[in-house]
Amino acid sequence: MFFLPAHYASHLRDAADHLALVVDRPHSLRSPALTNARLLKDSTGSVKNSVGPKKGEESLCLHSDAVTSAVPRDAMPLQVYYLGPPGTYTHSIALHFIQDGDSARSSSTIRQSLEDAASAWCEDEYRHQRSVVPLALMPYENSTYGLVLDTQSTLIGPRHGGANVSLGSNGQLASPSELSPVVVAEATRAVRHALLGSRRARDRLRRKDGLQALHDLEELDLSRVTKCLSRPFALTALYFVECFVTANAFQGFSVASTALGARLAASTTSSQNTWSTSACRPSSSIPLSAQHAAGNGEDTRRRSGHANVGAASDLQNGGHATRPIESDKDEVVVAIGTEQAAEELDLVVLQRNIQDRDDNETRFLLVAPNEQVARAYRSAHPQPLEGSRAMLLLRTDSHSTNLTSLLGALCATANSRPDQAPVRIRKVDRKAFPLGDETRALRGSTEEERDDASSCETAQAKQGSAWPSVYFVEVESAVSSARLDDDLQRRLKASHDLQGVRVLGVWQVS
């Protein structure tokens, strides 16, 4: 595979009538596809496109026998870790994203996906080889629900979020220096929620003849549902859930991922419920994450484009079973998730498209566990010359931080110097650490971390209700990501107002 500037695409379109033309989504995580034409070797020559074009931005992906694959296939394959088990939204984005030779692997939590990527890198190091570029794919924000808090905590890094040494699923240790997340790409995808259940659940929900329809949902009487499992973003942001879960007084349960909810719903096939409170919590206590084993499902993209899905591990083995969730023989448990989860788990789609809005989207970030991996990714995926975005991180001890001077310094420095590219501040998010569990997590195991934590708490005590916070500042520029990176680093060094700001990643956008 090789890359051409986008304007060559129209010439190729005219000239190569034996080539099938495909429009590839420009903001696919496969970064070169963002603005460049891609030529892919394909034995069928048929149009292949699983993701459509977006808002008129097009890059062309041409398939033909006649074209030799010129993207360096000697480049290391990507290994993309995602929040599992297979069938999550993140999984489906990972599948869209990976190509020949790349693989997607399931992790139990969002944080674990980064730790797994870090330990895959360490494992290679240990074997004195470089076989893969391990990355974590993380949902960052949903247009209806908002920010994904576990992703934010993970991006802040182990120093601020918990343990400073972590163990990947492969048992490999990743040290703090190996876990320093760097964002390398992003993708935004529409969310299509489906209501999923077992065949038994479907049979129990079927309306009996003569029963007055309570709502217009096919022949199913959803008022008979007793429990609904999903990730908080689906449980709390749906009018559907409000109507059928809350109004009918059935309980919503928050689980670590939508596919985990589906798996638990699938396992409720007998009157005796088999899942435990360690796997899911009533949604009133959102946000909570089940720290369950999510299976070691691995998808390896084959030339045919199909994925091999690995077997899922037994959920009950990974958790710390406490007490079973109360259930009786009339239990009807459903889940909200992807239609792919129904396929993975042999569940029935009880209702599709239950999202509030069709323009509901989730934005995902592709994250390298450290700068070395980010460099390996970038060298295999040349960045285009224009259009980039960066995420900056600022940790403060209070919420009275002078954002005006911070943001002002970011822009003023840039705009007042002709040799620097204008930078536009796109958005600012904040993750607060109120005195509580998260602040306690700041008490790391090293002296430095304990000092950090206690200085936060002292500052809080002095300032009354002030919370230590981390700000995520996203900036955009028309220049290349390499140039923006250079510019930002220089600005951070030059401005006193920007002390303490760290660049969490610079990547291309179309």
Ligand X SMILES: O=C(O)C(=O)Cc1ccccc1
Alpha helices in 319-464 (DSSP H): 339-345, 371-380, 403-416, 437-441, 447-462
Distance between CA 92 and CA 83 in Å, rounded? 11
In whole angstroms, the minimum distance from the beta carbon of 257 to ligand X comes to 4
Contact assessment for residue 341 and residue 167, using Cβ atoms and an 8 Å cutoff: no
How many Cα atoms occupy the beta-carbon half-sphere of 390 within 13 Å? 26
Phi, psi of 114 (to 5 degrees): -75, -40
Strands 133-142 and 361-368: what pairing? antiparallel
Secondary structure in 3-state letters for 55-85: CCECEEEEEECCCCCCCCCCCCCEEEEEECC
The token pair that represents 292 in the structure block: 């369950």
Q: What is the dihedral of CA 332, 336, 337, 343, to 10 degrees?
A: 20
Applying CB under 6 A, the span of 235-243, 252-260, 304-312, 325-333 interacting with ligand X comes to: 252-260
In whole angstroms, the minimum distance from the beta carbon of 259 to ligand X comes to 6
| Residue 198 binds ligand X, judged by CB under 6 A | no
Strands of the 469-477 sheet, one edge to the other? 424-432, 469-477, 388-396, 501-508
Number of residues binding to ligand X, judged by CB under 6 A: 14
In whole angstroms, the minimum distance from the beta carbon of 83 to ligand X comes to 5
Applying CB under 6 A, the span of 68-76, 86-94, 120-128, 407-415 interacting with ligand X comes to: 86-94
Interface of this chain with ligand X, residues 108 to 167, rule: CB under 6 A:
139, 142, 148
CB nearer to ligand X: give 25 or 381. Answer: 25
Phi-psi region of 77 (alpha: psi -120 to 50; beta: other; left: phi over 0): beta
In whole angstroms, the minimum distance from the beta carbon of 260 to ligand X comes to 8
CB nearer to ligand X: give 27 or 378. Answer: 27
CB nearer to ligand X: give 89 or 377. Answer: 89
CB nearer to ligand X: give 312 or 409. Answer: 312
Residue that has been written with the tokens 């499992």 in this structure: 229
Find the binder of ligand X among 3, 81, 233, 472 (CB under 6 A).
233
Residue that has been written with the tokens 């599992």 in this structure: 84
CB nearer to ligand X: give 346 or 447. Answer: 346
Which among 336, 495, 466, 369 has a CA at the least distance from the CA of 113?
369
In whole angstroms, the minimum distance from the beta carbon of 89 to ligand X comes to 4
Which among 199, 242, 209, 203 has a CA at the least distance from the CA of 224?
203
In whole angstroms, the minimum distance from the beta carbon of 487 to ligand X comes to 32
Interface of this chain with ligand X, residues 324 to 363, rule: CB under 6 A:
337, 362
Contact assessment for residue 198 and residue 342, using Cβ atoms and an 8 Å cutoff: no
In whole angstroms, the minimum distance from the beta carbon of 195 to ligand X comes to 14
CB nearer to ligand X: give 61 or 138. Answer: 138
Dihedral (CA of 478, 480, 481, 485) sign: negative
Contact assessment for residue 449 and residue 159, using Cβ atoms and an 8 Å cutoff: yes
In whole angstroms, the minimum distance from the beta carbon of 93 to ligand X comes to 8
Applying CB under 6 A, the span of 65-73, 84-92, 153-161, 452-460 interacting with ligand X comes to: 84-92
Find the binder of ligand X among 27, 189, 231, 378 (CB under 6 A).
231
How many Cα atoms occupy the beta-carbon half-sphere of 466 within 13 Å? 19
The residue number whose beta carbon is nearest to ligand X equals: 88
Find the binder of ligand X among 64, 169, 257, 268 (CB under 6 A).
257
Interface of this chain with ligand X, residues 402 to 431, rule: CB under 6 A:
none
Q: Is 227 helix (H, G, I), strand (E, B) or coil?
A: strand
Find the binder of ligand X among 64, 166, 258, 396 (CB under 6 A).
258
CB nearer to ligand X: give 140 or 433. Answer: 140
CB nearer to ligand X: give 236 or 480. Answer: 236
The token pair that represents 505 in the structure block: 């990643």
CB nearer to ligand X: give 149 or 478. Answer: 149
In whole angstroms, the minimum distance from the beta carbon of 31 to ligand X comes to 21
CB nearer to ligand X: give 88 or 477. Answer: 88
Alpha helices in 162-216 (DSSP H): 199-205
| Residue 83 binds ligand X, judged by CB under 6 A | yes
In whole angstroms, the minimum distance from the beta carbon of 237 to ligand X comes to 10
CB nearer to ligand X: give 3 or 82. Answer: 82
| Residue 235 binds ligand X, judged by CB under 6 A | no
Which among 309, 317, 324 has a CA at the least distance from the CA of 293?
317
Applying CB under 6 A, the span of 69-77, 251-259, 448-456, 489-497 interacting with ligand X comes to: 251-259
Q: Given the rule CB under 6 A, which residues bind ligand X?
A: 83, 88-90, 139, 142, 148, 231, 233, 257-259, 337, 362
